[in-house]
Chain A
Amino acid sequence: MSKITTIIKREYLSRVRKKSFIVMTILGPILMAALMIAPVVISQISERDYEIAIVDDTSLFYESFTDQSNIVFIHLQTNVDQVLSLMRDGKFDAVLHIPEIAFQAPSSLRLFSEKATNLNAKMLVENVIKQEFESLKLAAAGIDEEVLRTIETPLNIHAIRIRKDGLEQTDYPEVSMGLGIVSGLLIYIFIFLFGSQVLRGVMEEKTSRIVEIIVSSVKPFQLMFGKITGVGLVGLTQFLIWIILTFSIIGLVRVSVPELFKFSPDEQVYVNSAQMLNPQELQNQMESIQQSNTTAGELLAGLAAINFPVMIGSFIFFFLGGYLLYGAFFAAIGAAVDNEADTQQFMLPITIPLLFSLIMAQMVMNNPSGNAAFWLSIIPLTSPVIMMVRLPFGVPYTDLALSATLLVIGFLFATWIASKIYRTGILMYGKKVTYAELWKWIRYK
């Protein structure tokens, strides 16, 4: 077995066998699945009804308020002060007071409550009263409400992209946006998570002084490369286990508690069509049901339109590429400093391009084929995050290939530079390292 393989094996096994790795690997998917399932569960838990007493001095609106799923209205025709004292006794949660002058001075409306105001209740009340006031005003102006309703036009434009091969494809920017930001963020987190593991590993070897024993057997570059690769494989292992476990947990919950995942008949059509394998057929199905758009349906259709093999493949590639690029720098920093505190000053230049990509992600999402998006997804320092943000919107294969090639060149170059800093740094103790010093190390033969 070659020495690099031996090093990779040690770096990999020593991390994978750690308790913290096993705990994170198992807890991660449970947390992720919980994040996905929790909203569904919470929305189904019925809270105690929120009771609002209405004191309507104008007597105009008693009919307007209808009970909602968890907001109940109680109509009272007594004095406000009396009602308020009833509220204090805990008879109801809030009191809505509509004074005589409400129509002329809407700001005189009051919603009293003893605890913090329930935002849903406030919005509901506001909507109802607004509608009532508007129809009163319409009536006063002599406009028929029915006429107005026919004028109102619900609108949701279907964004259709004409592809190079002439086929039309519906875009779902909202879905692409969500998917893009999630995968971009994941890459960002992974690079930092495993990059700092490289940093700590190198520092451990330097401060424990085992490094001099090792470099008398292997070249410093072999040690650095073995460590970066080993930690990278740990990251990949964790990612794959997470993906598999997350989907298994969601699947399990779906089978065991199917009522959580009931779709409205409308949505069911989308689900069925999303599960179909033939893309053309799927496309046709999509077109046929787009007349009756619902948000959930749009989401499902959007997800179905994403090319997941390309997404996951690219994710793994850009994660590895980005990690190797930044991992080399992390290793160089670990070698250059003597203690954790000194890492800060050198972390900045690494953090900035990563953070910058995350900030630019918003701009890229607004215009995924713009110049900024193109360049940021090509330049190796920002491309891992930005390309993942861009990818769900559809990226030409030429861009993808160019970005991938540059990323490979980028991490080879970074590894070359880093190895020069690394081989000098690991044997250098008790010296305050500056950027000028690092530059000298790079230029050593």
Chain B
Amino acid sequence: MEYLFRAEHVTKHYNQHCALDSVSIAVPEQSIFGLLGPNGAGKTTLIRIINQIIAPDTGNLLLNGRTLKPEDVHKIGYLPEERGLYKKMKVGEQAVYLAQLKGLKASQAKKELQSWFEKFDLMPWWNKKVEELSKGMQQKVQFIITVLHKPRLLIFDEPFSGFDPINVNLLKHEILNLRKNGATIIFSTHNMGSVEELCDHIALINKSRKILDGNVRTIRKEYSGQLFQIELENMVSPLEDMLDNRFELIGSTKKNGILSARIKVRAHLSANELLKQIMTGAQIVSFHELIPSMNDIFIKNVTGHFPFKQEESAED
């Protein structure tokens, strides 16, 4: 796999406090990479290091296989979690200014900005002061500023906070569009729903260490815990009698003649073994594996156990 960005054994100390302990991540080209972790885990420190706002104590940062250099800030777009704009400055002027700091020429920035402003219905606000804009509109302006210089690597820190659902959708659409057009995206969030929806890969950081990383589908599969949901009718014998000690019945309910049961399968056994066992004794209405949500995986990894109502949440 081609990696656009790699961080290798990045360590950062603030006096006695260790903010990052030998964290490595590898972000595949043209993917959306979720950087997850509870508050204070070290995500922001890592993001600031990638943005070269602060320097790591040790560790390598590679963009496109080469060590990250100060000039590379032009190739990176960063939308911080805590973000703001100059309140008294006019929207258009401010956007041009920030684009210039990213290396764009004023005339070029203006042209690019106009098409983005049209797209986000912001054009009438070009000459207004930022303080006259609603929070949502300010967020849109910040998003545009982040992507305007067409960076190859985009870093979004909680991009959806403060957006209404309509604009969240608009933004998701734009983020997927950016990936389609070749951008690679690092995406830091607490919103696990959007992680499942958007991310191809994730890394989970807790207490300044990376504790989990990989492809989202593979990880969820790994955490599946061999749990299956099965619905049966026209049963010949009780379900308990059909299962031997390789299987464990966790719970069952009966409704309108249909038995709905949750069965845990011993490790190394496939779903086929379970089906083989049941096929003869009942008619199978539905069968699916209960894959834990990213939310559950997150909580399991950080706290050491699945959330209290794992079964219920596993169903959605």
Contact = CB atoms under 8 A, between A and B. Distances in A.
Interface of A: 1, 3, 6-7, 10, 14, 204-205, 208-210, 212-220, 427, 429, 440, 444-445
Interface stretch (B73-81, B162-170, B232-240, B253-261): B73-81
A3 B100 CA distance: 7
Nearest to A7: B101
Nearest to B89: A14
26 contacts: A1-B100, A6-B100, A7-B101, A14-B89, A204-B86, A208-B85, A209-B80, A209-B82, A209-B84, A210-B84, A210-B86, A212-B78, A212-B82, A213-B78, A213-B80, A213-B84, A213-B85, A213-B142, A213-B145, A215-B53, A216-B78, A216-B80, A217-B73, A218-B73, A219-B70, A440-B15
Interface class of chain B by DSSP: loop
A140 B87 CA distance: 85
Interface in B148-188: none
Interface of B: 14-15, 48, 51-55, 57, 70, 73, 76, 78, 80, 82-89, 97-98, 100-103, 142, 145
A7 to B, nearest CB: 8
A407 to B, nearest CB: 31
Contacts of B89: 14
B78 A427 contact: no
A217 B55 contact: no
A216 B73 contact: yes
Contacts of A445: 55, 57
A76 B57 CA distance: 98
A444 to B, nearest CB: 8
B84 A427 contact: no
A217 B83 contact: no
A208 B86 contact: yes
A167 B103 CA distance: 60
A212 B80 contact: yes
Nearest to A212: B80
Contacts of A213: 78, 80, 83-85, 98, 142, 145
* Most chain B beta carbons < 10 A, residue from A14, A217, A220, A429: A217
Nearest to B88: A14
B101 A209 contact: no
Nearest to B97: A10
A214 B98 contact: yes
A218 B100 contact: no
Contacts of B54: 427
| Closest 10 pairs between A and B when the two form their complex, measured CB to CB | A209-B84, A208-B84, A217-B101, A212-B80, A216-B78, A216-B51, A209-B82, A210-B84, A6-B100, A215-B53
Given A427-B53, A440-B15, 19 more contacts: A7-B101, A14-B88, A205-B86, A208-B84, A208-B87, A209-B80, A209-B84, A210-B86, A212-B78, A212-B80, A213-B83, A213-B84, A213-B85, A213-B145, A215-B51, A216-B52, A216-B80, A218-B101, A445-B55
